Amino acid sequence: MQSWRRRSAGRKIFDIVVGLFALAGFAIIGAWAFYQLGFTKNRGAVDKNYRYMLSVDEMKALQDSTFTEQQYQERWMRQYAKLVAFSKFYPTNAQLITQAAQFSHDPMHVDRMIRACSMYIEDQTEYNNLLQEMNKLLDKYPQQEAANVIPWMQGAEWAALKEAIVRDKALIDEVGKLTGVEPRLIVGCLIGEQIRLFNTKRETIKQYLGPVKVLSVQSQFSYGVNGIKMSTAKTIEEHLKDPTSPFYMGKRYEHLLDYTVEGQAQDDERYNRLVDYRNHLYSYLYTACILHQTKMQWERAGYDISNRPDILFTLFNVGFAQSVPKPDPVCGGSHIKVRDKVYTFGAIGFDFYYSGELAEEFPFWRQRFIPGDKELTDEEIAYIQGSVSNCKRPPRGWEYVKKDTLAPQVPQETVYHSYDDDPYAGTYANE
């Protein structure tokens, strides 16, 4: 103690610092030894549900090659039956599993998810009893090997038409964004028009729809894949610009169909837009505008038809002149005969819309129409105006010339087709 007091202040500070460093060294060495000896390791424990988890993990995945398409679909239905039973006791989890199942291509994932949740159910007696009752009821009725319940969807033509439509998915989706119209509604109009055209020009179009899966483009009286008349196209453009029109879609859509030229040249550009057989963008744009404009007309008259796709398809088919808002509209339109059964244009569109066909490519929107209170950007307008392809087209009016006044190789009427990688791109089929 005496020696400490006699030391100078500098020596005392030095001794304190050395002591602190020594303590720190001992602490570090001690911590290292504690760690190396394993005292910090969490030894863990085997989860009480380990065997149950293992059974979920080891469930054999469903392989497409193992089952027929019919058996595959039956598996899905059985999984949904399980979800129905599960929802009676645990609706929140059942809803989450249902939503997740939509993104899965393996029905056994549903079973795995239910089993994973079931680990926390102490008494599964009631759930198991209900599931057994449902399975007994389902077993009473064997799975039928029936074709599509919608008759006009049973033929090979429908399978080919679906492939052709999917090729235009990017364009249809883009038009949906630009016009604020649900793409599935646009496709409903397209299907009605293509099936109508197929039945009136069956032999000609069958050559293309079957082998190369392409959409037919009309070029006489009505134009494009959706059969838009020139007068109708001009009326659509006028509705876009007229805020006083009952068909007005809003400021966002005023410049949707602007032209790059003025005066008489607009007629030629309008024609080129519609008969473009390599790019159907404008066919879909005019179609979407008809749907949106008639919806606005009826809405302003006090009738909301946004939830009536059958009426929207009918009005697309019959035209603006016959679009008269009323409280009790009916589905109808042109008569279309498919395999000896007559349908209306509106009914065919309605059948498709709620059939579930192409739901992955063209899903249902929560809101079928987007209001037009926000203007298009300059970039969007430039995109639309630059979308007419530079492909070569026949002179306007060629399709109206009498066959006996032309050389043998020139058709009386031309039906154009859209080709992606087809070697005959740019050609046309004779009637």
Spans of all domains in the chain = 2-36, 51-139, 154-430
Say how far residue 127 (Cα) sits from the centre of its chain. Answer: 36
The whole-number pLDDT of residue 111 equals: 78
Q: At residue 213, what are phi and psi to the nearest 5 degrees?
A: 55, 65
The whole-number pLDDT of residue 214 equals: 61
The whole-number pLDDT of residue 7 equals: 64
The whole-number pLDDT of residue 81 equals: 82
Assess contact for 290 and 316: CB atoms under 8 A. Answer: yes
Please tell me the pTM assigned to this model. Answer: 0.70
The whole-number pLDDT of residue 38 equals: 57
| Integer Cα distance of 217 and 234 in angstroms | 19
**β-pairing, 228-229 with 222-224?**
antiparallel
The whole-number pLDDT of residue 407 equals: 38
The residue ranges of the chain whose pLDDT is under 70 are 1-12, 14-22, 24-27, 29-69, 146, 199-214, 216-220, 261-264, 376, 381-431
Indicate the Cα dihedral angle 323, 191, 77, 60, nearest 10°: -140
Output Rg (C-alpha) for the chain, integer angstroms: 34
Assess contact for 52 and 112: CB atoms under 8 A. Answer: no
| 120, two tokens | 């926390």
| Integer Cα distance of 269 and 282 in angstroms | 11
Catalogue the E-assigned strands of 113-260. 216-220, 222-224, 228-229
List, in order, residues 6 or more apart from 341 with CB less than 8 Å away. Answer: 151, 152
356: how many CB neighbours lie within 10 A of its CB?
8
The whole-number pLDDT of residue 377 equals: 74
| Integer Cα distance of 407 and 261 in angstroms | 34
pLDDT, tens only, 57-94 = 444 444 445 666 677 777 777 888 888 888 888 889 88
Strand order in the sheet with 414-417: 228-229, 222-224, 216-220, 414-417, 428-430
Say how far residue 4 (Cα) sits from the centre of its chain. Answer: 87
What is residue 311's three-state secondary structure? helix
pLDDT, tens only, 313-345 = 999 999 999 999 999 999 999 998 887 889 999
